[in-house]
Structure 1
Amino acid sequence: MRFFERLGAVLLFIALAAASPAARAHKASDAYLQLQRNGDTLDLRWDIALRDLDAALDLDRNGNRQLSWGEVRARMDDIGAYALARLRIEQGRCRLAHAQPPAVESRIDGAYLVLQLQARCDTGPAMELDYRLFKEVDPTHRGLLRIGAQGDAAPTARSLDPAGGPVAVAWPEGPTGAASGTSFFRDGVHHILIGYDHVLFLICLLLPAVLRRGADGWMPVANWREALWPMVGMVTMFTVAHSITLALAGLELLTISPRIIEPAIALTIMVAALDNLHPLLRGRRKLFSFLFGLIHGFGFAGVLGELELPARGFVTALLQFNLGVEAGQLVIVSAALLVLVALRGWRGYRPVVLRSGSVLAVAIAALWLFERVFDVQLVAV
């Protein structure tokens, strides 16, 4: 039994430690594609974040962490070749070419390179699209595709996984618009599983869930039910809150810059971890789970608003994405809680798992906070 207790503690620390070096200091990598068909002509607008292109092509020649238009323009041929080699339509039969000179646009989350491309070919009612941008450098990247068509057909949307291989993309036919397939559900699951800051926040909430705080400090709960229901309450509050702000931000009713949200998320982790060491929240963890969830919801919301879908299509995509986030979150919470319940009676739980784990979480969050405030990367990935 002692062996399994120690093994569980080791696995928990591996999960905590893995969050630090692998996590990006900024929002997940997304590119935006708007594809329109007019007869036998395909028009594509492709927006790619300059920070992602810099990571792949090392565009920052002087190393000052500030990309200039001159640095981007000097490598424009390399950028175009790099991007076009990673997007194939109809197995390369639809050859994309520049329709207009590339441009740079500023958005709430940074500068994007805008490529205006065109191809002439007949794709029929559907086409094969092979999207592989940043596949070799960033497994978190996704391409968010908005598909338009002729007539009164409303646009549809889907998420493109660079590691997923070629996909069949149907041209929209109905007037309502929709999210294509279950790609946004899978994206929601993916987003929470690679959202190391969100995962670390949940773990910080979970660490004391199998204990009860009394006058003499933390004591293990008598059975798993005492741990389960308080945890259900906190996770429910967190879920409701981030669903609210995810919807508000996705509908562009309320938007806040990632330069504010990303450091704020790091701060929520620090507060949750410090509360495990000293009662900062004074028993109001459910309330603060809700308030912190409002902040985390903005961290989930960066992808859908850019697609400019009709109301029905947007709601479908938003629902799929949110259900995916909740499914991934349920997997994380269930697995972590099982380990913690098994470990709660171990005499090393409080000094090793709770205290040392919380100190480690504070250190990781402090690193992220510094990186996000000063826009630097201290740990290479």
Structure 2
Amino acid sequence: MTSRTCRSLLAWLFLWVLASAVLPAQAHKASDAYLQLSRKADRIDLRWDIALRDLDAVLDLDANADQKLSWGEVRYRLDDIKAYALGHLRLQEGQCVPAEVQPPAIESRIDGAYLVLQMRAPCSAATALSIDYRLFQDVDPTHRGLLRAQAESAATPLLRSLDPSAGPVSIAWVGSEDAARPASFLADGIHHILIGYDHILFLVCLLLPAVLKRRDGCWTPVLAWRDAAWPMLGIVTMFTIAHSITLALAGLKIVTISPRIIEPAIAITIILAALDNIRPVLGGRRKLFSFLFGLIHGFGFAGALGELELPTGQFALALLQFNLGVEAGQLAVVSVALAVLLGLRNWRRYPPLVLHGGSMAAVVLATVWLCERVLDVKMLPFS
């Protein structure tokens, strides 16, 4: 097999992997639900906040198909909703059965409306509680349940991120090292960037021209990997600093911006970054715009931790772990993509096919996302 054939296959493989990553992309924020448990003597009080958009996706609550959920539509299906939710949550292997103590309510949050279920489960005193959380396991592999559990005598809450596909987990209420040890949100940060297809697509758009240099109006490959890696490191560093700032500001609720603004803005950053690969529209100031765009993407990473209402010290640690996870996932994406592009840089069809073709594909996909997010409609069957 010739080197030209190898590069062609590598190029098509790269484009196929990229398409596979972005085509199933969700058009909106990652799916989260909030589960709060409070232990009092021989009972557990439970509050469960579930996004209506997620419930609609699995139960088709929008009876008149007008893309809006009314309280009447939700109320009409409350029995189905409660049956579905409780059918995907088991406490202490089914020995602690939650029962409703207050009527369900709808609460508006910055990222949309949530159904609030408030329940109580008689449960014998024990040092540990088994939780089998499987909400949306069958329809959304990206979903996570954010657990906040606190015993009556405990000074600080215990935190966990519940993966519906991971099986039952055991949390310790008191008298255990696990109860005192803060939960790690490092894996959640990695998970968040890896399912953030719009963030990944933005990074790839930044990477595509990194292995080339424009000379006399023509693209030529860089001679050494360092010629691509060091400039790219500067751009990614600016992006990282920026989104770390806004992630912290949003998580601390110092600055809050609705996803209705942020999600379309993220799509616009992808369009601009991709267009700049075809015809310079950013005036050669890619580091500056990487920083400015990173500020927008940081708000896209935020949200979930702020809803947990943690003590300051615990929140700071969780935020640091989450951000480190985001950076680790981002570094993995950049490293793999840059290595592949370096291997393709001498291919004569790289500029027209990979750089221009890939950028145009990114423009098209990001434009569809923009329309979906602005108009709140579904245009792609897989989004």
Partner residue in 1 for 2:146? 144
| Rounded Cα–Cα distance in structure 2 between residues aligned with 1:161 and 1:341 | 36
Secondary structure (helix, strand or coil) at the match of 2:338 reads helix
- Counterpart amino acid of 2:49? D
Partner residue in 2 for 1:73? 75
**Do 2:210 and 2:232's aligned partners in 1 also have CA atoms closer than 8 Å?**
yes
Partner residue in 2 for 1:235? 236
Partner residue in 2 for 1:16? 18
Does 2:74 align with 1:93? no
Query: 1:254-283 deviations in whole A, cap 9, x for unaligned?
Result: 110000000000000000000000111121
Partner residue in 2 for 1:194? 195
Pairwise mapping of residues 100-139 of structure 1 onto structure 2 (< 5 A)?
100-139=102-141
Query: 1:215-243 deviations in whole A, cap 9, x for unaligned?
Result: 32322111111000001111111111111
Q: Aligned Cα RMSD in Å?
A: 1.4
| Rounded Cα–Cα distance in structure 2 between residues aligned with 1:196 and 1:379 | 15
**Do 2:182 and 2:314's aligned partners in 1 also have CA atoms closer than 8 Å?**
no
| Rounded Cα–Cα distance in structure 1 between residues aligned with 2:91 and 2:310 | 23
Secondary structure (helix, strand or coil) at the match of 2:358 reads helix
Partner residue in 2 for 1:7? 9
**Do 1:127 and 1:169's aligned partners in 2 also have CA atoms closer than 8 Å?**
yes
Pairwise mapping of residues 1-381 of structure 1 onto structure 2 (< 5 A)?
1-171=3-173, 180-182=182-184, 184-381=185-382
Secondary structure (helix, strand or coil) at the match of 1:347 reads coil
Identity fraction in percent: 65
- Counterpart amino acid of 2:243? H
CA 1:357–1:33: 2 relative to 1, 3 Å = same
| Rounded Cα–Cα distance in structure 2 between residues aligned with 1:123 and 1:213 | 70
- Counterpart amino acid of 1:111? A
**Do 1:89 and 1:95's aligned partners in 2 also have CA atoms closer than 8 Å?**
yes
Secondary structure (helix, strand or coil) at the match of 1:102 reads strand
| Rounded Cα–Cα distance in structure 1 between residues aligned with 2:355 and 2:336 | 17
**Do 2:22 and 2:201's aligned partners in 1 also have CA atoms closer than 8 Å?**
no
CA 1:317–1:139: 2 relative to 1, 3 Å = same
Q: Shift of residue 317 of structure 1? A: 1.0
- Counterpart amino acid of 2:327? E
Q: Shift of residue 135 of structure 1? A: 0.2
| Rounded Cα–Cα distance in structure 2 between residues aligned with 1:147 and 1:324 | 23
CA 1:263–1:299: 2 relative to 1, 3 Å = same
CA 1:172–1:351: 2 relative to 1, 3 Å = farther
Q: TM-score by structure 2 length?
A: 0.96
Gaps of 5+ in 1: none
Gaps of 5+ in 2: none
Q: TM-score by structure 1 length?
A: 0.97
Secondary structure (helix, strand or coil) at the match of 2:151 reads coil
Q: Shift of residue 245 of structure 1? A: 0.6
**Do 1:211 and 1:218's aligned partners in 2 also have CA atoms closer than 8 Å?**
yes
* Greater CA drift, 79-88 or 14-23: 14-23
**Do 1:37 and 1:150's aligned partners in 2 also have CA atoms closer than 8 Å?**
yes
Q: Shift of residue 23 of structure 1? A: 0.8
| Rounded Cα–Cα distance in structure 1 between residues aligned with 2:154 and 2:4 | 67
CA 1:159–1:178: 2 relative to 1, 3 Å = farther
Equivalenced residue count is 378
Q: Shift of residue 50 of structure 1? A: 0.4
Secondary structure (helix, strand or coil) at the match of 2:209 reads coil
